[in-house]
Amino acid sequence: MSQNWGDKFSARVGFFKASAIRQLLSLVNDPDVISLAGGMPDPELFPKEVIAEIAKDVITNDCGKSLQYGPTEGIKPLRETLIKMTQEEIKGVTGDNIIVTTASQQGLDMLAKIFIDPGDTVIVEAPSYVGGLQALQSFQANFVTIPLDDNGIRTDILEEKLEELKRKGIKPKLIYLIPNFQNPGGVTTTLERRQKLIELSHNYDVPLMEDDPYGEIRFEGEKVPSLIELDNVGNVIALRTFSKILAPGLRLGWIIADREVIAKIGLAKQSADLCSPSLTQYIADKFIRDGHLKTYLDVVRPAYRVKKDAMLSAIEKYFPQEATWTKPQGGMFVWAGVPNNIDTDELFPEALQKKVAYVVGSAFYPHGEDKHHMRLNFTLNSPEIIEEGIKRLGNLLKTKLS
């Protein structure tokens, strides 16, 4: 076939950007390669017997609902369960404040769709989650980046940038944040900075988009109140997901927000997929109602802590002394910095030759500006495989310094 499709696509297609992570992972097809690249939970920990039993029960006893179309906003039992879970954190939440999504990636896409016009300004952390950047970029957002440090987003720089934009007559549409165990940075925004974020959001009238896939995977340290918990005027839009706290194959997430925002998301979702899968919603709801979520997380947290400790110990042992890295209290990732003479984009093919893979740091910036970091995942592999992968990577890095 020789059809020329180039002039038939919409102008928006030109702004679509492939996921660098998925492109890199497509190269990791050698079973001997130790992949530290993905952001996947450990499948060995999945509660498969429990889920299988629940799925059988749901299909056998409630197939008329579980195998049927459902409401756009989500099935009533799950939404009631989510309301109950949310009310422990946020007072006054009702069904009008929650919508179920086909995982949080759909939530990101829907929010970009209802908020962003071409050329609108969005403020993001630097680095930031690839999927969030993709969603915003697809609707032709202009990005303003704010750096992170060990305490999260630099709110002092954010305030300066907001004031600068105000002087120029530019009002950002959103501030996109991952405050807990940030992807890819691994850092957690402190309470002091969260309070400052709320203050800035109110003062400059800019909504905060709080993406929190990892908040329940804290394995050390004290929990910090969420942004939506600290807010009192409805300026925070919170995204949550079952992908990291249960199983990504369920493809379920939810959004908590002001009822007007939820209503607009519902309209956008109707044209996207009508509704999220009823079957997996019923499975997730029963899983939570029967108390299995707490049991599962009680297994996941200590297991991931052991893996995290194994990675940090191996980095300390094998990486060159010039390297830097974060020390997450939860989540799935370590963000490692290498000396400036090492380009992690250029290093990646050599790493594959050494049978180890990571995600290049440039993938987490809107314009690929960082070439000296890598994201390392510690949740998928065993501690022994993690150590071997870090050893291979560390030995490769050291060859670049000699």
Three-class secondary structure of residue 180 per DSSP: coil
Instruction: Work out the angle between the directed axes of helices 48-66 and 278-289 (0-180°, nearest 10).
Output: 130
Angle value at C-alpha 270, between 269 and 273, nearest 5 degrees = 75
Model pTM score: 0.94
CA distance 377 to 33: 14
Tokens at 270, concatenated: 């109707």
CA distance 188 to 216: 13
Phi/psi at 152 (5° precision): 100, -160
CA distance 149 to 147: 7
Question: pLDDT tens digits, the chain, 402 residues: what are they?
Answer: 557 887 888 888 777 776 666 666 665 667 889 999 988 999 999 999 999 999 999 999 999 999 999 999 999 999 999 999 988 888 889 999 999 999 999 999 999 999 999 999 999 999 999 999 999 999 999 999 999 999 999 999 999 999 999 999 999 999 999 999 999 999 999 999 999 999 999 999 999 999 999 999 999 999 999 999 999 889 999 999 999 999 999 999 999 999 999 999 999 999 999 999 999 999 999 999 999 999 999 999 999 999 999 999 999 999 999 999 999 999 999 999 999 999 999 999 999 999 999 999 999 999 998 999 999 999 999 999 999 999 999 999 999 986
As a CATH number, domain 62-290 is 3.40.640.10
Does the structural domain 11-47+294-399 have CATH classification 3.90.1150.10? yes
Three-class secondary structure of residue 286 per DSSP: helix
Q: Domain ranges for the chain, please list them.
A: 11-47+294-399, 62-290
pLDDT, tens digit (0-9, with 9 covering 90-100), for 293-332:
999 999 999 999 999 999 999 999 999 999 999 999 999 9
Please report where in the chains the tokens 């059809």 appear, as a residue.
Answer: 3
